[in-house]
Chains A and B, each alone.
Chain A
Amino acid sequence: MWDLDRWQEIGHTLSRHKLRTGLTAFGVFWGIFMLVLLLGAGNSLKQGAIDRFSGNTNTIYIWVGSPTQYAYKGFAKGRRVDWNIDARDMLRKKLEGAEVVVEINELGGWQAEQYIVHNKRSGTFVARGTHPEVALNSGYAPIKGRFVNANDYDQKRKVAVLGAEVYKQIFEPGEDPVGQSIKIAGIHFMIIGVYKSIIASENSRRDDSRILIPNSTLRTAFNQTEYIGSLRIKPKNGVSAVKVEEQALALLKEYHHVHPQDTTAFGYYNTEKNYMKVVALFNGLNAFSWFVALGTLLAGVIGVGNIMLIVVKEKTREIGLRKALGATRGSIVGLIIQEALVITALAGYIGLVAGVAILELFAILLVKFDIPGFGAPSINFTTAITALVLLIISGLLATLLPAHKAAAVNPITALQDD
């Protein structure tokens, strides 16, 4: 079937209609090309957006909100919830879907900056309590020394980890900070490491401008033993953060005698919701890309079918002659199908390669000019194969009608002299 004679015929037919074939092939080319570009660009944006979560796709944050809205169980309304470490321990016991429940305190209230002194240099930064578990999902990478560990926390050691910006401001360039001491609100802490936020985003500078100390140390050293700032909850693998959040809020309301309908006594935030929104947005974008590209591809394929119809019409006499000389329907149909497939497959393949090449180029440029907010633009192998298979199938569909017409050519009428 795939013999030289066939290829000769196909070459001849295609070259006889160079412009027409070229335009038709361009339709198919463009469809695949756009599909690759759109999907690649979508993936790049999606990856960029997901990178901002830096793996923190399902952390739940809960804090004390406004005064209560309802009177409940003998408590008047307008009361502000007063919680302490017992709330955390209660959740650790009762909140089944949670993997990690930790409390975070801040020095001097939310985002309040502290005057930090090291030798003759100083600056104002946020000092925040932390836990060994926090580094895991906050996108912090140690660039010097180490992060807070379990012993630091349990023994309430006076140790501190500096954000990279803090280090830059209060140390000489190249100076090794590990083992040195700084003064935070009048108390000496030993520096054990420097961290840097690994996500490239506008938040990273803020993240790098903090000083982290074990939360247990913070609470005892700065007189916050009867108080916790906020709770951070990480669900177990595969458990929905939205569910865990609901359960945690219900448990906390019950524990603190807050009416179940109260919506503001606790503030809460959950990265999963945002993450899901981002994922849904990009899934939508993805679907839209397919829709647009498939539309273009369909137009291209209709073009191929159209051209094949013209070819068959022009070749009626030739087909009739071939039949008279012994060609079977199968061999005639095979020729038409092969011809259409050559156009679609070739044009599609070139489109695919061109699209991927452009994506690669963008990937290189993104790295070279260090543009944040985008991931490497790429399409996965399955998508590429799907596109190609789709192309072949559509190429075949395009030949259904022309091939049928070719097979139905009657040699007598085709060869009639007139």
Chain B
Amino acid sequence: MISLEGIHKHYTSDSRRLHVLKGVNLSIDDGEMVSIMGSSGSGKSTLLNILGLLDTYDHGAYQLGDTVISAGLSEAKAAQLRNRFIGFVFQSFNLLPFKSALENVALPLYYQKIGRKARNYRAEKLLDMVGLGERTKNMPNELSGGQKQRVAIARALITDPRMILADEPTGALDSATTDDVMTVFKEVHRTGKTIVIVTHEHDIAEQTERLILLKDGQVERE
């Protein structure tokens, strides 16, 4: 289970202090598939970054499974936890252009110091699962947007993380490929993974089990 209590986060830029999260309370059960919505600038990405240990929070409490994530978590520790527990899917895919689909998927295991053979074996299985078993050798520029996003999902899954965090994963896709990607997400969900999707689209939100609405730096409605 993931729980956030009274999470605050502010940014200071150009000596202006922007209070983005003002006491977010939230808990997500293991294996749940939830979506986060809210107007632009409401702090959805900020919240997701905190959940994903890419960013720290000012105060409050964050528990990730058995692990207490303190506000001042060190960068090295965060990198390690991220690698073990969290998979990311981004709006713009973020595949490395000079690596094949297979190599892209296998990359997180490299940082776990797993051998190339084992890495590639698992990457192949995951590409198969997202329906790209025939495309392992393709380079990213040889794949469509939807295919790229499915590669990214396979990459997010390869470390067998506790949860997948996706920030507007379909934001750059047309409706047909959006459906493909959502199908994959639902399949992943069926394997028992926790999935959190930030989205602007009600269609997407409706396909999740629960919607969390952010407004004025707080969870307005669940």
Compute how far the CA of A321 lies from the CA of B155 in the bound complex, rounded to whole angstroms.
12
Q: Which of A306-358 contact B (CB under 8 A)?
A: 317-318, 321-329, 331
In whole Å, how far is A332's beta carbon from the nearest beta carbon of chain B? 10
- A329/B91 in contact, CB under 8 A: no
Q: What are the residues of chain B within 8 A of A412 when measuring CB–CB?
A: 49, 54-55
Instruction: Closest B residue to A6 by CB, please name it.
Output: B110
Instruction: Closest A residue to B172 by CB, please name it.
Output: A417
Among the stretches B16-24, B75-83, B189-197, B211-219, the one at the interface with A is B75-83
- A321/B94 in contact, CB under 8 A: yes
Q: Is the interface of A mostly helix, strand, loop or mixed?
A: helix
Q: What are the residues of chain A within 8 A of B91 when measuring CB–CB?
A: 417
Q: Which of B155-192 contact A (CB under 8 A)?
A: 155, 159, 168, 171
Query: For the side of the interface on A, what is the size category?
Result: 20 to 34
Q: Does B111 contact A (CB under 8 A)?
A: yes
Q: What are the residues of chain A within 8 A of B90 when measuring CB–CB?
A: 415, 417
Compute how far the CA of A12 lies from the CA of B98 in the bound complex, rounded to whole angstroms.
8
Q: What are the residues of chain A within 8 A of B96 when measuring CB–CB?
A: 318, 321
- B108/A325 in contact, CB under 8 A: yes
Q: Does A5 contact B (CB under 8 A)?
A: yes
- B98/A324 in contact, CB under 8 A: no
Q: Does B69 contact A (CB under 8 A)?
A: no
- B88/A325 in contact, CB under 8 A: yes
Among the listed B49, B80, B92, B107, which residue makes an inter-chain contact with A417, where contact means beta carbons less than 8 Å apart?
Answer: B92
Q: What are the residues of chain A within 8 A of B79 when measuring CB–CB?
A: 323, 326-329
Instruction: Closest B residue to A16 by CB, please name it.
Output: B98
Q: Which of B37-95 contact A (CB under 8 A)?
A: 49, 52, 54-55, 75-76, 79-80, 82-84, 88, 90-92, 94
Given the interface contacts A4-B116, A5-B110, A317-B94, does A324 sit within 8 Å of B54 by beta carbon? Answer: yes
Q: What are the residues of chain A within 8 A of B171 when measuring CB–CB?
A: 417
In whole Å, how far is B30's beta carbon from the nearest beta carbon of chain A? 21
- A326/B88 in contact, CB under 8 A: no
Q: Does B141 contact A (CB under 8 A)?
A: no
Compute how far the CA of A328 lies from the CA of B84 in the bound complex, rounded to whole angstroms.
13
Q: What are the residues of chain A within 8 A of B76 when measuring CB–CB?
A: 328-329
Instruction: Closest A residue to B79 by CB, please name it.
Output: A328
- A325/B54 in contact, CB under 8 A: no
Q: Does A132 contact B (CB under 8 A)?
A: no
Residues of chain B having any CB pair with chain A under 8 Å: 49, 52, 54-55, 75-76, 79-80, 82-84, 88, 90-92, 94, 96, 98, 107-108, 110-112, 116, 155, 159, 168, 171
14 A-B residue pairs with Cβ-Cβ distance under 8 Å, sorted by A, are A12-B98, A317-B94, A324-B54, A325-B83, A325-B111, A326-B82, A326-B84, A326-B111, A328-B79, A412-B49, A412-B54, A412-B55, A417-B90, A417-B171
- Beyond A324-B82, A326-B111, A327-B79: 11 further Cβ-contacts under 8 Å? A322-B111, A324-B88, A325-B82, A325-B111, A326-B79, A326-B80, A327-B111, A328-B111, A415-B94, A417-B92, A417-B168
